[in-house]
Structure 1
């Protein structure tokens, strides 16, 4: 399997985060990539530095206003009196019937849904290289590879067309799907991160050409809270959410993946984007689900058996030794060496 990783994404190394009112160290550190690279190596694979891509699919997915914000926000933030080292919004407007502000404090609130996505000096450049990584894997699949893996940092599936959230700035999975649409009338996205891919759902919710399916912990009491429920099907019926009870184990998770694959087969897409989160693991600090390390290998084998050209885009997974083992397990399951 072809694997891609841009080393310069390590320049994005966020510091600020807040959980239940307590400021603490951000969990989406550059060190995560080292653990994931070790997982690639443990599976007997190597990662290639992707070239700078034609980012037209990114511009099709995200608004020009939002991309301009990401590009300029940090520099403008530094001109504000007493500004911190990272752009962290302290306002979170509901947006409906509200007016877009001109000042950086207001625009930060408009474009940043929570405090989990501090924007540093190098964040936008790193996010662009994450997009290049996803597009390199997409290009490989478009040119005949059965599957390709994109180790994207920062992750992307919580970012919608106009908003950063949950460590995510540019939606790599959505951008990969948009790229695949150049050759396929229909594309499916399967998200197996423990958190619902709310940004991806919002981007494609009104479209009939992209099916979005997410298997995740029930958002009633789990991030992202406000989206990810079973009744959210979309105008064309091209969105399927499979929320699982908190603490669900391998059997429940794999059964939901089977149901997701049945729906994808019925949609008959030409290609698949797999948003791969590894935070469904039983040792994840938030304990959303209780998937074991071998469970990731079994999931990989089932998804590969669907027989679709597949772009695998890395999403979540908190920093730990388990991250290495879980990615290695998944990749071995995919290539048949588990």
Structure 2
């Protein structure tokens, strides 16, 4: 199983974000990807840099105007607000009535849904190459491989069709899933990050060719809020093709594995021909954003059950922050998955 990563993904380097009204150190740090990369090297994974597939696969999933906003947004912000200002939106249009403004601060609010995804000098390159990494993983599957691991950073599953959200700029997993539809008639995307795959739900909600399932605590009381309720099952052509499985806060490994089994059963019923996994190690009991209690052996068992689907699979990295067991959890999952598909 090949892994893909580009060092330019380390260029996004936010220092702080706002949580519950207070500024605090940003959880989504370049060190996350360095630890995962170093584990891959230690475990003899083959790591390749992705090729440049351009903007078309990204714009196939995201609003092209949103994509075009991002490359120059940080430079424009700094030119107006100064280098010491935090590049976050401070004005929002509410529920999107109105028109996109031309002022950079108005545009930030138009295209960025919260304050958790500040722009830095290297954010565009990092987000672009994170998406290219996911596309390369999908290309590996289209070429006949059984599985690929895309070490995507920044993560992607909170990115909406037309906006950044929750540490995420581009929805790497949705981009990969859409790319797979070039070959596969039915694709499934299962999200095992502890947070709702709200961006994926937004993007895929009316699609009938990609089944989406997310495991997460109740969004009424846990971020990212708003989307991810059990009764949100899709609309139009996508009716019945979205599934949200709610976990209790503090859920045990056995609870999480039972929820995973429900999701995998639904994917079998859907008749998926290929699989994308939004892989979050923030399910860990000691993750800084912990809400459930999964340990390394639990991640290994998740890998066994996902591999047992016997589907061509792209593993797309999402969350998993700088807790003590990040490398151990990644090692347990990825080495187990690699062995299970041999």
The normalised TM-score by structure 1 is: 0.96
Shift of 1:286: 2.9
Give, in whole Å, the separation in 1 of the partners of 2:64 and 2:139: 24
Which residue in 2 is equivalent to 1:6?
6
Which residue in 2 is equivalent to 1:53?
53
Distance 1:336 1:82, change over 3 A: closer
Give, in whole Å, the separation in 1 of the partners of 2:88 and 2:55: 26
1:326 aligns with 2:329: yes
Question: What are the Cα deviations for residues 245-275 of structure 1, in whole angstroms up to 9, with x where unaligned?
Answer: 1000110000010000000001112211100
The normalised TM-score by structure 2 is: 0.95
Which residue in 1 is equivalent to 2:25?
25
Which residue in 2 is equivalent to 1:290?
293
Give, in whole Å, the separation in 1 of the partners of 2:38 and 2:46: 10
Which residue in 1 is equivalent to 2:183?
183
Distance 1:106 1:83, change over 3 A: farther
Q: 1:271 aligns with which of 274, 296, 315?
A: 274
Report if aligned partners of 2:287, 2:324 keep a CA contact under 8 Å in 1.
no
Report if aligned partners of 1:35, 1:319 keep a CA contact under 8 Å in 2.
no
Give, in whole Å, the separation in 2 of the partners of 1:138 and 1:112: 27
1:117 aligns with 2:120: no
Shift of 1:336: 2.7
Alignment of 1:252-271 (within 5 A): 252-271=255-274
Report if aligned partners of 2:211, 2:267 keep a CA contact under 8 Å in 1.
yes
Q: Extract unaligned runs of 5+ from structure 2.
A: none
Bigger drift between 6-15 and 97-106 goes to: 97-106
Shift of 1:39: 2.7
Shift of 1:285: 2.3
Which residue in 2 is equivalent to 1:303?
306
Question: What are the Cα deviations for residues 112-170 of structure 1, in whole angstroms up to 9, with x where unaligned?
Answer: 11111001111111111111111111111111111000000110000011100111001
1:94 aligns with 2:97: no
Q: Give the SS at the match of 1:100.
A: coil
Distance 1:255 1:42, change over 3 A: farther
Report if aligned partners of 2:286, 2:324 keep a CA contact under 8 Å in 1.
no
Q: Give the SS at the match of 2:60.
A: helix
Give, in whole Å, the separation in 1 of the partners of 2:232 and 2:217: 15
Q: Give the SS at the match of 1:264.
A: helix
Would you say how many aligned residue pairs link Structure 1 and Structure 2? 337
Q: Give the SS at the match of 1:273.
A: strand
Distance 1:169 1:81, change over 3 A: closer
Give, in whole Å, the separation in 1 of the partners of 2:218 and 2:291: 8
Shift of 1:320: 2.9
Shift of 1:86: 4.4
Give, in whole Å, the separation in 1 of the partners of 2:54 and 2:69: 20
Give, in whole Å, the separation in 2 of the partners of 1:39 and 1:93: 43
Shift of 1:83: 5.7
Question: What are the Cα deviations for residues 187-222 of structure 1, in whole angstroms up to 9, with x where unaligned?
Answer: 110000000100011001011111110011222211
Which residue in 2 is equivalent to 1:63?
63
Q: Once superposed, what is the RMSD of the aligned Cα atoms?
A: 1.4
Report if aligned partners of 1:42, 1:328 keep a CA contact under 8 Å in 2.
no
Give, in whole Å, the separation in 2 of the partners of 1:138 and 1:266: 23
Give, in whole Å, the separation in 2 of the partners of 1:102 and 1:132: 29
Shift of 1:92: 3.1
Question: What are the Cα deviations for residues 16-53 of structure 1, in whole angstroms up to 9, with x where unaligned?
Answer: 21111111221111111111113323443132111212
Bigger drift between 325-334 and 89-98 goes to: 89-98
Q: Give the SS at the match of 1:66.
A: helix
Distance 1:188 1:110, change over 3 A: same
Give, in whole Å, the separation in 2 of the partners of 1:113 and 1:201: 15
Give, in whole Å, the separation in 1 of the partners of 2:47 and 2:264: 28
